[in-house]
Chains A and B, each alone.
Chain A
Amino acid sequence: DQQVKQNSPSLSVQEGRISILNCDYTNSMFDYFLWYKKYPAEGPTFLISISSIKDKNEDGRFTVFLNKSAKHLSLHIVPSQPGDSAVYFCAEKGTGANNLFFGTGTRLTVIP
């Protein structure tokens, strides 16, 4: 069974509005969650992370929220820009693991 789930394969948002990308997980033993952004024909690039001991982390237009009781995290992008159009992956760094488990990705399209 998928350890990290991104149930929305795609999302469209108007420029200037908020984009919310969601991720659910099953493993409670983790150290970090990371978000990656991927443009076509390029490798994923790291965007933002959150430690298991926090419930929010903010970096500019990007904020990640972690709800451990619901085993859910979300990435908020405010305001959304056309250059944010990409596939976004959430990834889990499990406790004791030295690799990451990636979700299936959500394709975000920001409409000008």
Chain B
Amino acid sequence: DVKVTQSSRYLVKRTGEKVFLECVQDMDHENMFWYRQDPGLGLRLIYFSYDVKMKEKGDIPEGYSVSREKKERFSLILESASTNQTSMYLCASSTPEGGRYEQYFGPGTRLTVT
């Protein structure tokens, strides 16, 4: 069964802290993604990666960075957390096989920055 796991379900951090969100997939997928979900704004793409050590900016990369050292793991880093980064963060993975690029999502991390 397809599985994407995220390191934490809930996280509370202080303003200015460095925050690491980890995502692991067990499907040998090439592509991995980080989104944030906010009410009324849907899923907004932060960064994605289509190969190890490769990364592409999404729609809202400011204040974030990513790391993909291994195919199965994609990390999202908040260099200096701010209150406007309080959100639900979702990781996903996909493969080009079949052409549909269907994404499989993890359960999400609810991050609160105080």
Binding site for B on A (CB under 8 A): 6, 9, 31-32, 34, 36, 41-46, 49, 89, 91, 93, 97-100, 102-105
Contacts and interface: CB of A to CB of B under 8 A. Distances in A.
Interface of B: 4, 9, 31, 33, 35, 40-45, 48, 50, 58, 90, 92, 94, 96, 99-108, 110
B90 A102 contact: no
Contacts of B106: 43
Contact of A102 (B9, B43, B50): B43
A102 B99 contact: no
Contacts of B42: 6, 89, 102-105
A41 B107 contact: yes
Contacts of A93: 99-101
Nearest to B9: A41
Given A43-B4, A44-B105, A46-B102, A98 B50 contact: yes
